[in-house]
């Protein structure tokens, strides 16, 4: 196959690997990319409508080095963002935050902000399904962690408790999200199991 300009694509040499080295995990994608792909799959199958929330930004200064290109030089967040994703599934409001950590032994609570916790509490109080998706990149594992289980850890850090959730607790309390090629982070299967 050739590109439209008539040139042949340059193909990298195939690297031989030991079958034990092959990982069927996220294959280099970030958690956000995996969730976006999953949400696109859900939408294409009419399973759910879940979208990433845009972060409201106020653009202050823009430079135009060329007529065809604008470069944003200065901008500010208009307001504190809430969580990353929201939408509807099986007539229920769904709202969640996605976090990735390279830490092997725990999930640092510093990855979450107080205004996000307050938002998640409001969602839970109004009957919505609210949770964290946590990826431990060093373990190549992704977990569904219900917001109601997160709140005690959050409060405990202000009373002399840990400032993180131990990896073992995430394994015990959370639900490992299965990896699939089409629904890379199939969190709806966990929601079905826990809520329906």
105 annotated as belonging to a binding site for a ligand:
no
Please count the other Cβ atoms lying within 10 Å of the Cβ belonging to residue 20. 6
Of residues 122 and 13, more confidently modeled: 122
Which region among 67-71, 152-156, 158-162 has the lowest average model confidence (pLDDT)? 67-71
Which region among 8-17, 23-32, 138-147, 152-161 has the lowest average model confidence (pLDDT)? 8-17
Cα(35)–Cα(33) distance, rounded to whole angstroms?
5
Please count the other Cβ atoms lying within 10 Å of the Cβ belonging to residue 102. 8
Of residues 10 and 92, more confidently modeled: 92
Q: Is the Cα torsion angle 115, 117, 119, 121 positive or negative in sign? A: negative
User: What is the arithmetic mean of pLDDT over 130-155?
Assistant: 97
Q: Tell me the per-residue pLDDT of 70-116, one tens digit each, with 9 for 90 and over.
A: 777 777 665 566 899 999 999 999 999 999 999 999 999 999 999 99
Question: In order of start, what are the domains of the chain with their CATH numbers?
Answer: 35-195 (3.40.1350.10)
Q: What is the DSSP letter of 190?
A: H
- With pLDDT > 70 as the criterion, what percentage of the chain qualifies? 79
| β-strand partners of 176 | 143
For the chain, the average pLDDT equals 84
User: What is the arithmetic mean of pLDDT over 42-59?
Assistant: 87
With a CB cutoff of 8 Å and minimum separation 6, the contacts of 33 are none
Of residues 19 and 173, more confidently modeled: 173
Q: Find the DSSP H helices in the chain.
A: 31-44, 114-125, 147-156, 167-173, 187-195
Backbone angles phi, psi at 115, to 5 degrees: -65, -30
97 annotated as belonging to a binding site for a ligand:
yes
82 annotated as belonging to a binding site for a ligand:
yes
116 annotated as belonging to a binding site for a ligand:
yes
């Amino acid at each position: 196959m050739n590109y439209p300009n008539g040139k042949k694509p340059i193909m990298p040499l195939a690297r031989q690997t030991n079958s034990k080295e092959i990982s069927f995990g996220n294959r280099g994608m970030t958690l956000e990319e995996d969730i976006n792909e999953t949400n696109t799959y859900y939408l294409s199958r009419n399973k759910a409508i879940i979208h990433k929330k845009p972060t409201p930004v106020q653009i202050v200064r823009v430079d135009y080095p060329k007529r065809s290109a604008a470069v944003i030089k200065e901008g500010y967040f208009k307001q504190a963002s809430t969580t990353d994703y929201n939408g509807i599934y099986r007539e229920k409001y769904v709202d969640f935050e996605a976090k990735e950590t390279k830490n092997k032994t725990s999930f640092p609570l510093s990855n979450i902000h107080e205004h996000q916790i307050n938002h998640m509490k409001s969602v839970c109080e109004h009957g919505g399904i609210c949770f964290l998706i946590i990826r431990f990149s060093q373990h190549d594992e992704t977990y569904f962690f219900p917001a109601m289980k997160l709140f005690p850890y959050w409060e405990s850090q202000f009373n002399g408790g840990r400032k993180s959730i131990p990896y073992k607790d995430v394994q015990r309390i959370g639900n490992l999200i299965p990896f699939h090629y089409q629904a890379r982070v199939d969190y709806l299967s966990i929601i079905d199991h826990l809520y329906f």
